[in-house]
Structure 1
């Protein structure tokens, strides 16, 4: 059974009204699409969190606005880290028969052999642009790094696109690499510091010459 998220129409756009909506446990949102137009709505925060956990950012689910159901995806989420609160959600009304572009998170899998040998993993991109029908968009792009040695890299061209989607990124774009560890300069030991002769500044040097005279 497809996931259904219920929403209510939202008419007021004033800041004070939005604050009241959030205080009541709802999230202001908007639904838009080429054929759908633009409709302000609001969704209950608890229901949205359950839907987001179940479908992810690229999952397609049904948004029910007063009995009118529309296939949508989560296009953008605004979250206030200070208040620990969802601020606004953008839902995209997807045409299920038309390919679309979406940013899909990169998920690094495993521990690289090069990291075990002292190297450092560098991740070049954290999302990849993918084109596919809405139902075929992946939740994430898994990149297995277990066999990577120091100085090895994985580029977009090295990733195997699924049968139902393709990458939009430059094939030569680096996704992850293992770089050699950086050598930190050795700190001067206490003995070296004690054995070092203090440098004389110009004023001190002149005073010594006067004393000799």
Structure 2
């Protein structure tokens, strides 16, 4: 994967408002904002073509990015991205500053591995039903993983993998589990295969004969 997707050039934007943002988009630019830390929020402008290429990569959303803002490098995370309702266009991006030595909160995608060899699927013909596809975690910037693996190799039919069953990387903590008892979320369940539909009449032991006239 090219490191270019984690490095974006940006410029400080002084012309603000909806009209200014609309004019920016017409010139192939994307309005954005950078906030967090002890510094004031800064309005930015980024190149749309480079941003649209970068956002195709899953890691773009869970990786510490480097924004080159008029020659000054700032580390940040994507916190929100707004898109056009039907066109392949990004209309606005929120970035949060990443401060070295300070823990951050963000979402990390889950990668489900070994589903094809899980006994509940390979042997018993079940299927995996995913309840959660990403986890909210807290960690130092240096410990932030691009994704977290959920190993399905030993999961049986009818078994559910919970949040507490996942082995988190060193230095990474689950925000949900930190809330205490009752927050051990179900992550994925191997459900039994669906059989052919059974006619209601058959289920009752047969169909009634038409009454004689």
TM bin (shorter chain): 0.7 to 0.9
Residues 174-210 of structure 1: CA deviation (Å, up to 9, x unaligned): 1111122345542469xx88x7427xxxxxxxxx9xx
Post-superposition offset of 1:82: 0.6
Partner of 1:179: 191
Post-superposition offset of 1:51: 4.5
Residues 1:162 and 2:169 are matched in the alignment: yes
Partner of 1:5: 8
Residues 1:41 and 2:44 are matched in the alignment: yes
TM-score by length of structure 2 reads 0.80
Post-superposition offset of 1:81: 4.5
Post-superposition offset of 1:164: 2.1
2: distance between equivalents of 1:57 and 1:135? 16
- Using the TM superposition, name which of 37-46 and 8-17 deviates more: 8-17
Distance 1:179 1:167, change over 3 A: same
2: distance between equivalents of 1:61 and 1:120? 36
Q: Name structure 1 gaps, 5 residues minimum.
A: 199-207, 209-213
Which secondary structure does the structure 1 equivalent of 2:61 belong to? coil
Partner of 1:28: 31
2: distance between equivalents of 1:122 and 1:114? 12
Partner of 1:66: 70
Q: Name structure 2 gaps, 5 residues minimum.
A: 178-182
- Using the TM superposition, name which of 178-187 and 89-98 deviates more: 178-187
C-alpha RMSD of matched pairs (Å): 2.8
Aligned length: 197
2: distance between equivalents of 1:98 and 1:9? 25
Distance 1:113 1:35, change over 3 A: same
2: distance between equivalents of 1:137 and 1:26? 29
Which secondary structure does the structure 2 equivalent of 1:56 belong to? helix
TM-score by length of structure 1 reads 0.80
| 1:5 and 1:51 in contact (8 A); partners too | no
Post-superposition offset of 1:85: 0.8
